[in-house]
Amino acid sequence: MTFVLELEPRIVWKQFDEILRIPRASKREERMRDHVSGLARRHGLEHETDATGNLVVRKPASAGRAGAPITILQAHLDMVQEKNEDVAHDFERDPIRPRRDGEWLQATGTTLGADNGIGVASMLALLEAADLEHGPLELLFTVDEETGLTGASGLAPTLLSGRRLINVDSEEEGVVTIGCAGGATTQLELTLDEAPVAAGSSALEVRLHGLKGGHSGLDIHLQRGNAVALLARALQAAQGASPFRLAALAGGNAHNAIPREARATVVAGAGVLGAVRRAIEAEVEAIRTEYRRADPGLTLTLGDSAPPSRTWDAAATSRVLSLLCGLPHGVAAMSLEIPGLVETSDNLATVAVDGRRMTVLLSTRSSVASALGALRRKIRAVATLAGATVEERDGYPGWKPDVGSPLLAVLSRVHEEKTGQPPRVGAVHAGLECGILGQKYPGMDMVSFGPQIEFPHSPDERVKIDSVGRFYDLLTATLARLS
């Protein structure tokens, strides 16, 4: 147990304190699902798991409320596992180490898992609570949300009976979400021709780190640096000044996280490497000036190393840098319908090398299907020019807003009664499972809301402690009103 157990409301924080100790990587949520089903068994509640691994727990209505329509509550069990490179942490064995920073709860050098752990904890609190007023509940815990919404995509069409759903995977207090972007990933592969290293060559390890990163949808408008794109930019600028060859390049960890760190191995003649170093330093200094407000922690680390026996040849080095510099990253278009909403974006998410094969993963989002397709075609065009093969993976649908939603009307009234003002209503530039759930269950009335969570998918992730209590109070009051 940690100090989290003592936070208020304890019924929620007790659950989150336990969640901090349970490994729950995407596609490996078994222990978390067992924890939830074990809790359901102890309380004598009916529960069912579908073939994909999604779990629903059914809780009967409180006294006198059995005639109310079923309300579904939904959260996902998995979390993004990101850590700073200098932090020793094994997510499969080590518990998340929470720390308090004033009014915020964070982890120590890793993601906290408040996305979507606070939502899960709130649903487990509802599962255990015996003093609430509510109609019949279906508590749906999906798997593998963070790597492509595959849990929701594989949800059995017979698992749910209700037709109104509250998703608790939103991250801005005072906001009710009624729409989201659709998205898809693209994987590129480039074969790298190699050449032996000439005698007398030297090697330089180049590392770009200290960036904030963040969620590739929710934070893309903040214009933070992408470590992969910026490292490629610095290397390409240096290549124009002095010739060198690459022996390694890697960065990024997840399709939905903006890369915070990237590294490369540069090989050149001993008399040339100094000029390469100075050219990289000069370009990174220019980048640091450009990003001084968005990413003040941007850091370049250079270190000499023993040269490898082989590198990519000059043509492969040039193609790699041209490809990474040519691929889009960031906001491509803002919505003309909803002020301030990103319409279309792309995240140059990961680059990795295995032998002679380099793999690049990109995540593209848009609330306009045709714009999503157009940006993916642009990615294909750049990749084709660089000689890479392209695999366009199936995406997930967006969620079209319904401002006439009866569920929204009830939640808005309760919110105004609780806070003195109506909630802000809008859409997000991120993939929510609601888009898929609405497709699987036509006519589903849906809303999404949550506490204040910032910088998800990065070690800077944090949740505003007192917002969790307000969120849980609004959730329970809404359930009472719906009954």
If you ran DSSP here, which 8-state letter would residue 264 be given? E
Shared domain for 422 and 459, answered yes or no, is yes
Instruction: Summarize the confidence of residues 376-391 as an average pLDDT.
Output: 97
Strands 46-49 vs 55-59: parallel, antiparallel or unpaired: antiparallel
The CATH number that applies at residue 71 is: 3.40.630.10
Give tens-digit pLDDT for 267-322: 999 889 999 999 999 999 999 999 999 999 999 999 999 999 999 999 999 999 99
55 with 157, same domain? Answer: yes
**Beta-carbon contacts of residue 376 (< 8 Å; ≥ 6 apart):** 184, 186, 364, 392
Q: Is the pLDDT of residue 454 over 90?
A: yes
- Same domain? For 388 and 453 the reply is no
pLDDT for 73 equals 98
| Element (DSSP H or E) covering residue 463 | strand 462-464
Which pLDDT tens digit goes with each residue over 141-167? 999 999 878 999 999 999 999 999 999
Q: What is residue 148's predicted lDDT score, i.e. its pLDDT?
A: 78
Q: What is the pLDDT of residue 97?
A: 97
pLDDT at 342: 94
Residue 192 and residue 174 share a domain:
no
For residue 336, the model assigns a pLDDT of 86
User: What domain range is 385 assigned to?
Assistant: 184-392
pLDDT at residue 338 greater than cutoff 90: no
pTM of the model: 0.76
Q: How far apart are CA 437 and CA 155, in angstroms?
A: 8
Instruction: Mention every residue, 6+ apart, whose C-beta is less than 8 A from residue 335.
Output: 341, 342, 343, 367
In the predicted structure, residue 110 carries a pLDDT above the cut 90: yes
Q: What is the mean pLDDT of residues 67-85?
A: 95
Give the residue numbers marked as catalytic.
Answer: 78, 145
Average pLDDT, integer, range 249-265: 95
Mean pLDDT of the chain: 95
Q: Cα dihedral angle (80, 84, 89, 95), rounded to 10 degrees?
A: -50
pLDDT-derived band at 476, boundaries 50, 70, 90: very high
Say whether both 146 and 212 belong to one domain: no
Name residues whose C-beta falls within 8 Å of residue 337's C-beta, 6 or more positions apart in sequence.
none
Q: What is the pLDDT of residues 394-448, one digit of tens each?
A: 888 889 888 899 999 999 999 999 999 999 998 899 888 999 999 899 999 999 9
> Which pLDDT score, from 0 to 100, does residue 356 have?
94
Domain boundary among 373, 392, 411: 392
25 and 50 in a common domain: yes
**249 with 368, same domain?**
yes
* Average pLDDT of span 185-197: 96
pLDDT at 401: 87
The answer on 293 and 150 residing in a single domain is: no
